[in-house]
Copies of this chain bind each other. A is one copy, B any other.
């Protein structure tokens, strides 16, 4: 019941990111860290989930600044008209990104169909 705090290396391992990334997140105001007397960071276990959330948002194309804007309204659950507008805007952006990706995938499917279908007379290079 004592070791409830994680050191940076453990958190990095558990969350699947680098130590550098965690320091970077702190620098960007995305992840607060407690400090031991000697200056070492320590994190509570829920930080693992938080880091994974951050990663998810990064991979969705959000920038550090955007994430920093949105996370407080996850933490404190403070909801202002602006923060809600921001959330809606980012949701919309993700939607657009998804539809764009689907279009790109369809294009790629078309190319794949061409390259796998002998019907266009160009595919029998390998035989």
Contact = CB atoms under 8 A, between A and B. Distances in A.
Chain copies in the assembled complex: 2
Interface string A36-77: 000000000000000001001101100000000010011011
B70 A111 contact: yes
Main secondary structure of the interface of A (DSSP, over half): helix
Contacts of A8: none
Interface in A66-93: 70, 73-74, 76-81, 83-84, 87-88, 90-91
Interface of A: 53, 56-57, 59-60, 70, 73-74, 76-81, 83-84, 87-88, 90-91, 94-95, 97-98, 100-105, 107-109, 111-112, 114-116, 120, 122-123, 125-126
24 contacts: A56-B100, A56-B103, A59-B97, A59-B104, A60-B101, A60-B104, A60-B105, A74-B114, A77-B114, A77-B123, A78-B125, A79-B122, A79-B123, A79-B125, A79-B126, A80-B125, A80-B126, A83-B115, A87-B111, A87-B115, A91-B105, A91-B108, A95-B105, A98-B101
